[in-house]
C-alpha cells in the first residue's frame, strides 16, 4: 500500500509540466510522445529572440497543449511592446506566463521582472497565472538577500513560484521553509531535471548556442559533474527525500517543473514508469 510520501510524489508527478527550448524539431517530438494534458513551457533565448518562443507556443496550442511562454523582461522593450505581446498571446488562448528577468542585456525599459509585472498589472492582469523564479541556491550574479527581497516585491503581481534547478534536497526543503516563514504564500512548482542523457545534453548545448549554454552552466555549477558521477542524479531519489517536506501542511507545493532539455520522450517515459511503480 502506498504511504503518505508516495501519495505526495504521485500528486506532483501528475501535475508536472515540461520546459522545452524552441528548436526546429521539438514540436514533432512533443506531438509524438507527450499527451496534451501535460502543460508545456517554452523558454526565451537571447540568441533566438522572443518570436521563436511565441511561434512555437502558437503551434503547440494548435495541437491542443496548454502552453506557458516565457516573457523574459530584459528582452522586451517596454509597455507598448508588452501590450502587443499580451494581445497576441491572449488572442490564441494563453492563460499562464512565466516572467523571469532573463540573461540578456536589457533592450529597453525593463532591467528586471518587477517592472514588467507592474506593467502587466496596469494592463489589467490579463493572465490567470503568472509565474516567477525562485532560487533555492545562490544565483551566480545576484546576492541572496536581493533574490529574497525581489520575491517579496513580486508577490503582489505573481501567482506561483517556479524554483530554479537544484540537485540538493536539503537546499530546497530548507529554502521552502524559509520562504513560508517569511510569509511568501504563493504555490510552488519544484524545478527538477528530467532523465537527461549527458551526450544528448552536450548536443543540445551546441544547438541552443554557445552564449546560452555558457549562461546555463554558470547558473548550474556542477550540472555536468552530477550527470557524469557514478549513479548520477535521479529524480526518484530526490523526490523520495523531499516528499515529507513537500507534502507537509502549508508547504503549498503544487507540482513539478521538469527541465527536459528537449528530451521529452525520455522524460515522459520516466514519469509514466515512476507513476506505475508508485501506484502498484
- If you ran DSSP here, which 8-state letter would residue 25 be given? T
* Non-local CB neighbours of 9 within 8 Å, separated by 6+ positions: 239, 240, 243, 274, 278
Place of cell 529572440: 49
CA distances from 132 to 4, 8, 135 (A): 29, 23, 10
Helix (H) or strand (E) holding 161: strand 160-163
Record the cell numbers describing residue 256, joined without a space.
513539478
Q: Are 82 and 116 in contact (CB under 8 A)?
A: yes
Domains by residue range for the chain, with CATH: 4-279 (3.20.20.220)
Among candidate residues 206, 184, 87, the one with its CA nearest the CA of residue 134: 184
Task: Note the pLDDT of residue 183.
Answer: 87
Task: Note the pLDDT of residue 201.
Answer: 59
Rounded distance between C-alpha atoms, residue 43 and residue 70, angstroms: 5
Task: Note the pLDDT of residue 275.
Answer: 96
* Non-local CB neighbours of 193 within 8 Å, separated by 6+ positions: 165, 167, 233, 235, 258, 259, 261
Q: Is the pTM of this model over 0.85?
A: yes
In angstroms, how far is the first alpha carbon of the chain from the final one?
Answer: 8
Strands, E assignment, 7-149: 16-20, 40-42, 67-69, 96-98, 129-134
Among candidate residues 279, 273, 277, 272, the one with its CA nearest the CA of residue 35: 272
pLDDT in single tens digits along all 280 residues of the chain:
469 999 999 999 999 999 999 999 999 999 999 999 999 999 998 888 999 999 999 999 999 999 999 999 999 999 999 999 999 999 999 999 999 988 778 999 999 899 999 999 999 999 999 999 988 875 555 555 555 666 667 888 999 999 988 888 999 999 999 889 988 899 999 998 888 776 665 565 555 444 454 455 555 556 556 555 545 557 899 999 999 999 999 999 999 999 898 999 999 999 999 999 999 8
Rounded distance between C-alpha atoms, residue 274 and residue 66, angstroms: 23
Amino acid at each position: 500500500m502506498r504511504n503518505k510520501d508516495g501519495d505526495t510524489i504521485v500528486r506532483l508527478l501528475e501535475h508536472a509540466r515540461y520546459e522545452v527550448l524552441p528548436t526546429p524539431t521539438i514540436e514533432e517530438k512533443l506531438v509524438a510522445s507527450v499527451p496534451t494534458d501535460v502543460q508545456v513551457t517554452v523558454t526565451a533565448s537571447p540568441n533566438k529572440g522572443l518570436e521563436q518562443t511565441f511561434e512555437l507556443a502558437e503551434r503547440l496550442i494548435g495541437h491542443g497543449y496548454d502552453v506557458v511562454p516565457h516573457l523574459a523582461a530584459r528582452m522586451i522593450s517596454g509597455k507598448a511592446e508588452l501590450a502587443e505581446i499580451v494581445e497576441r498571446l491572449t488572442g490564441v488562448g494563453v492563460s499562464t506566463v512565466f516572467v523571469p528577468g532573463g540573461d540578456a542585456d536589457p533592450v529597453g525599459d525593463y532591467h528586471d521582472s518587477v517592472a514588467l509585472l507592474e506593467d502587466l498589472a496596469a494592463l489589467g492582469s490579463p493572465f490567470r497565472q503568472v509565474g516567477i523564479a525562485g532560487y533555492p541556491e545562490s544565483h551566480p550574479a545576484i546576492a541572496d538577500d536581493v533574490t529574497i527581497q525581489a520575491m517579496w516585491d513580486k508577490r503582489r503581481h505573481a501567482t506561483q513560484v517556479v524554483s530554479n534547478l537544484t540537485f540538493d534536497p536539503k537546499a530546497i526543503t530548507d529554502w521552502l521553509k524559509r520562504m513560508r516563514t517569511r510569509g511568501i504564500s504563493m504555490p510552488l512548482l519544484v524545478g527538477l531535471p528530467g532523465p537527461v542523457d549527458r551526450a544528448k545534453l552536450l548536443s543540445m548545448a551546441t544547438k541552443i548556442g554557445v552564449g546560452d549554454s555558457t549562461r546555463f552552466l554558470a547558473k548550474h555549477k556542477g550540472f555536468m559533474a552530477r550527470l557524469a558521477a557514478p549513479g548520477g542524479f535521479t529524480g526518484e531519489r530526490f523526490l523520495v527525500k523531499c516528499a515529507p517536506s513537500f507534502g507537509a501542511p502549508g508547504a503549498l507545493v503544487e507540482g513539478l517543473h521538469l527541465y527536459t532539455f528537449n528530451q521529452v520522450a525520455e522524460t515522459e517515459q520516466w514519469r509514466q514508469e515512476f507513476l506505475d511503480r508508485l501506484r502498484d
